[in-house]
Amino acid sequence: MASEEASLRALESLMTEFFHDCTTNERKREIEELLNNFAQQIGAWRFCLYFLSSTRNDYVMMYSLTVFENLINKMWLGVPSQDKMEIRSCLPKLLLAHHKTLPYFIRNKLCKVIVDIGRQDWPMFYHDFFTNILQLIQSPVTTPLGLIMLKTTSEELACPREDLSVARKEELRKLLLDQVQTVLGLLTGILETVWDKHSVTAATPPPSPTSGESGDLLSNLLQSPSSAKLLNQPIPILDAESEYICSLALECLAHLFSWIPLSASITPSLLTTIFHFARFGCDIRARKMASVNGSSQNCVLGQERGRLGVLAMSCINELMSKNCVPMEFEEYLLRMFQQTFYLLQKITKDNNAHTVKSRLEELDESYIEKFTDFLRLFVSVHLRRIESYSQFPVVEFLTLLFKYTFHQPTHEGYFSCLDIWTLFLDYLTSKIKSRLGDKEAVLNRYEDALVLLLTEVLNRIQFRYNQAQLEELDDETLDDDQQTEWQRYLRQSLEVVAKVMELLPTHAFSTLFPVLQDNLDVYLGLQQFIVTSGSGHRLNITAENDCRRLHCSLRDLSSLLQAVGRLAEYFIGDVFAARFSDALTVVERLVKVTLYGSQIKLYNIETAVPSVLKPDLIDVHAQSLAALQAYSHWLAQYCSEAHRQNTQQFVTLISTTMDAVTPLISTKVLKQRGLHLFSNSVCPSVHVPIYYKIKILRSIRPITLTTVIQLCHFMFLFSCNLCKCNCNFIFSVL
């Protein structure tokens, strides 16, 4: 005993010295060597067992547990059977005696060491390992400890490390699966007991002014008045201990759901209980009460209530992530969707846009992330399965998703929702391609939702409607994909526009083009405000409000030009003839605005706010060139079609494009780009003079110069192909 006590004091002294700020690295290496040598000694575990029961030094306890951990995981086969029995007996007793006083990280480490023993010896030599865990859970005094042991067991045995044989891994999984029904029953009982106990004292709130409207939609979703009534019950106020137990139970469920198969063991009662706790994440009332009362304890309680909602949604998402759904579980799955969409309706139920956004801002950010994950999983994994159920209102779901998307309080939340819409549009496109006979019926069902989505996404990228939010986006810092936050925002938005265009080309074009034309009219009308000054030309728009409006219009025009360019692929190929008129209208506008920009050179004109308007004017001209380049393939197809028709319209487009493009290129630029332009004649078909007035637009962005050269390349090729003459328009790469 004296030897153990002396060893303990020496170890405490060494550990304190090791972690002291003044201890040198050399001394730390010496201490580390001493500790390693001690751990390798036969019977060192007996000293460690004494240390654990006799010290309150965290460093010593952690070291002692590490010794046990190495013994069990690396040397267990060589440990005598009698020693193993003693360790299996003593460590659980130690945990049971001190679990309430041990620091949480020491307690958790001790739990893991015991589970490591079970990982090696259960059930052959440690037959009561899992039985002990179940008993801990069933005893009210040790329920939290039992739940911690259960979660650790699930983590370490269901997904063991690679140091176990394949046969042992399979044996452990089978042993755990045999216990699943019992475990799920216990967890359900814990959650139901807590809920029922505190629901008795919960006050019934007065009816909502919109309760009738909510009830109608809820009835559509749940198809059961009793279910609707159950979910409309007030959320109880839990004490701290109950919240802690429930959070542990939900953590266990989330990990169990990550590896157990969907089966009848997951009962409707359990699912309903989980959804009860998911409602905690929507409980703004409790968060407001905590903030009003002001004390740190109330704030912690409010956070814990929100965390229960996050954990419950984690459980739901683990079930949602499983693509393989047995036939007998599909009804449960439908019930899950119905109950989750009740929560979605609860979050977005107010018709006042500001109130909905405020509600989302007040919810825990992690809860919103989990809810968005649920919606993504629903659309990507289960929509094709659930859409066939007549009792599930898909169109109503899209209505809720629309409100949820466009009231997101953060940019990241909005991006995530746009990803969900992209998944839905991909699903719809794939469905139509596989069932062409039902195309009209499918589109008619979703047409209103898609048009509404398109309109709102276009509004969200325009400063005219969304200036405050768009001004917050960073347009300077590049992310890992080499794009700014603004570029990412615009790209994701335009992808949604493009996918709607693929499904509803006529509606998409009729929605986009008038908006583009409005901003083009503003840009083309700037010529009348150009006046001559002593230093050159100046834009005579000086009022602050007018400059701000012009800035917004130019930024919107730049974005809309990118949108039009993104849609170019939907005017070529098999649909060329059917959509020729719309495409020709677009290309004529692009040619006109490009020529206008090259001739007027607004980017070189003085403005009242040069730091703002000059970049805007440069970007508009750059994007008009880039958009025109995107229609080069359409022009190529038009070129081949023009041989069988009147060529004059095509010739005019090419000639005007050349007039717009070539003034932006100089011999110096061509040499810098590795290109030479040789010519000795005139192409008679398009009357293109070979030597143009060539000037370089030095302020334009490098990407635009590349675009100009590529455009010029296309134009020369088209003109030569059209007249079939031996023009000397040659682009050669040095």
Phi-psi region of 536 (alpha: psi -120 to 50; beta: other; left: phi over 0): left
- Least confident segment among 121-130, 204-213, 348-357: 204-213
The strand pairing partners of 678, in sequence order, are: 730
pTM across the whole model: 0.83
Q: How far apart are CA 458 and CA 121, in angstroms?
A: 63
pLDDT value for 462: 95
- Return all residues near 263 (Cβ < 8 A) that are at least 6 apart: 326, 329
Evaluate if residue 673 carries a pLDDT over 50: no
DSSP letter at 540?
-
Range among 16-20, 199-203, 320-324 rated most confident: 16-20
Q: Are 638 and 571 in contact (CB under 8 A)?
A: no
d(CA 177, CA 299): 40
- Domain borders along the chain are 4-126, 511-666+694-724
Residue bearing the bigger pLDDT, 694 or 528: 528
71 in Cβ contact with 40 (< 8 Å): no
Each residue of 24-72: pLDDT tens digit?
999 999 999 999 999 988 889 999 999 999 999 999 999 999 999 999 9
Q: Is the peptide bond before 689 cis (omega within 30 degrees of 0)?
A: no
- Of 58, 163, 172, 168, which Cα lies nearest the Cα of 108? 58
Map 627-696 to HEC letters: HHHHCHHHHHHHHHHHCCCCCHHHHHHHHHHHHHHHHHCCHHHHHHCCEEEECCCCECCCCECCCCCCCC
Contacts of 605 (CB under 8 A, 6+ apart): 530, 536, 537, 538, 539, 617
Quickly tell me which residue has 């009460």 as its tokens. Answer: 289
Helix (H, G, I), strand (E, B) or coil at 66: helix
Using the structure block, give the residue that is written with the tokens 């089966």. Answer: 263
Phi, psi of 57 (to 5 degrees): -85, 115
Closest CA relative to residue 237, chosen from 182, 160, 289 = 289
CA 591 to chain CA centroid, nearest Å: 39
**Is-contact 281 363, C-beta < 8 A?**
yes
Q: What is the tens place of the pLDDT at every residue in 76-105? A: 999 999 999 999 999 999 999 999 999 999
Q: What is the mean pLDDT of residues 720-727?
A: 36
Weakest-pLDDT range from 35-39, 262-266, 540-544:
262-266
pLDDT in tens, 693-702: 232 233 333 4
- The Cα 184–Cα 179 span in angstroms is 9
Q: Specify the pLDDT at position 230.
A: 61
Give the 3-state secondary structure percentages of the chain, helix then strand then coil, rounded to 5: 75, 5, 25
**Residue range 467-481: average pLDDT?**
90
Q: 184 or 722, which is more confident?
A: 184
CA distance 17 to 141: 38
* Chain mean pLDDT for the chain: 83
Q: Which of 355-359, 513-517, 536-540, 658-662 has the highest mean pLDDT?
A: 513-517
